[in-house]
C-alpha cells in the first residue's frame, strides 16, 4: 500500500477503497486527448485492470494534446505506445489492449469483461454504441466530450437515487445529431486534460465506493470564462 499512501490516507478512500480499486476492471474506449489523462491517472491510482481500445496510429497533430505519446511514436499504434508508457508508470496494473475500434460486431464481447466503460472517443456513433451495450449489461458508462474550450461529463446506465436509469440517448437524439454538420476539430490542448481528469475522478469514485458520482447530472466547464456548473438531467 505504500505506493498509494497519499490517497489511502484520504478518509473517503482508505485502504479498503484502494482494495476495491485494485480489483476493478475498467475499459477505456479511445486513447487520444481524453484517453491520455484517463489512462494515466487510472494507472497511477492502481486500477486493477485497464482495457484500452483504439485502432488509431500516432500522428504529429496528436502531440499537442495526447500526452501519452512522443515524436518518436509517430506512425505507431496508439494502444501499443500506451501500453509501454503505462506499464512503465505502474507495472502492478494489468493492461489489455485492443488494436481495433469499438464496433457493433465486437462491442458486446469486449465490454462484457469489464465493470465499467469510460469514454475517450471523439464521435457520436461510438458513444451511442457504448451506451446501448452498457444499458444491456447494467454497467456504468462514464461519458465525457470536448469541443474548443468547453467540455462535459456525466455517468449513464446505472440508477440514480430515485432508481431512474438514463442513457446517452436521454441526452442527445441520434437522428438529430446525424443531420448536423460534423463538429469542429478545434481544441485547446488543456481542454481534454481537464475533462479527461474529471472522467477519471468519476471512475475512481464509482470503483472506490466514495463521493457523489454524476449519475443523473451533467457537469459542464467553459475555459473561456473558467466557469463550471452542474445541471440535473430530466
Global confidence as pTM: 0.96
What is the C-alpha separation between 55 and 37, in angstroms, rounded?
18
Using pLDDT thresholds of 50, 70 and 90, give the confidence band for residue 2: very high
CB 155 within 8 A of CB 116: no
Would you say residue 35 has pLDDT above 90? yes
What pLDDT is attached to residue 178?
Answer: 78
Question: 114-134: buried (b, 16+ CB within 10 Å) or exposed (e) per residue?
Answer: bbbbbbbbbebebbbbbbbbb
Pairing of strands 217-222, 49-53: unpaired
Is residue 105's pLDDT more than 90?
yes
d(CA 119, CA 38): 9
| In the chain, domain spans | 2-232
The pLDDT > 70 percentage for the chain reads 100
CA distance 88 to 69: 13
Query: Beta strands 150-156 and 141-147: pairing type?
Result: antiparallel
**Annotation: CATH topology of 2-232:** Rossmann fold (3.40.50)
Q: How far apart are CA 70 and CA 143, in angstroms?
A: 27
Amino acid at each position: 500500500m505504500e505506493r498509494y499512501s497519499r490517497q489511502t490516507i484520504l478518509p473517503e478512500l482508505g485502504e479498503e477503497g484502494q482494495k476495491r480499486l485494485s480489483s476493478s476492471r475498467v475499459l477505456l474506449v479511445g486513447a487520444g486527448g481524453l484517453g491520455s489523462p484517463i489512462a494515466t491517472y487510472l494507472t497511477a491510482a492502481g486500477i486493477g485492470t485497464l482495457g484500452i481500445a483504439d485502432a488509431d496510429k500516432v500522428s504529429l497533430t496528436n502531440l499537442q494534446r495526447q500526452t501519452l505519446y512522443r515524436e518518436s511514436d509517430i506512425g505507431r499504434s496508439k494502444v501499443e505506445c500506451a501500453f509501454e508508457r503505462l506499464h512503465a508508470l505502474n507495472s502492478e496494473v494489468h493492461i489489455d489492449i485492443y488494436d481495433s475500434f469499438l464496433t457493433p460486431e465486437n462491442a458486446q464481447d469486449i465490454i462484457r469483461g469489464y465493470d465499467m466503460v469510460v469514454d475517450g472517443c471523439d464521435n457520436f456513433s461510438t458513444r451511442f454504441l457504448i451506451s446501448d451495450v452498457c444499458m444491456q449489461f447494467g454497467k456504468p458508462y462514464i461519458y465525457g466530450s470536448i469541443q474548443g474550450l468547453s467540455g462535459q461529463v456525466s455517468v449513464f446506465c446505472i440508477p440514480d437515487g430515485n432508481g431512474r436509469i438514463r442513457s446517452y440517448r436521454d441526452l442527445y437524439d441520434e437522428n438529430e445529431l446525424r443531420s448536423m454538420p460534423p463538429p469542429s476539430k478545434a481544441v485547446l490542448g488543456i481542454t481534454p486534460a481537464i475533462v479527461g481528469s474529471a472522467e477519471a475522478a468519476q471512475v475512481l469514485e464509482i470503483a472506490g465506493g466514495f463521493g457523489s458520482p454524476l449519475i443523473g447530472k451533467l457537469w459542464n466547464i467553459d475555459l473561456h470564462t473558467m466557469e463550471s456548473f452542474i445541471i440535473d438531467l430530466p
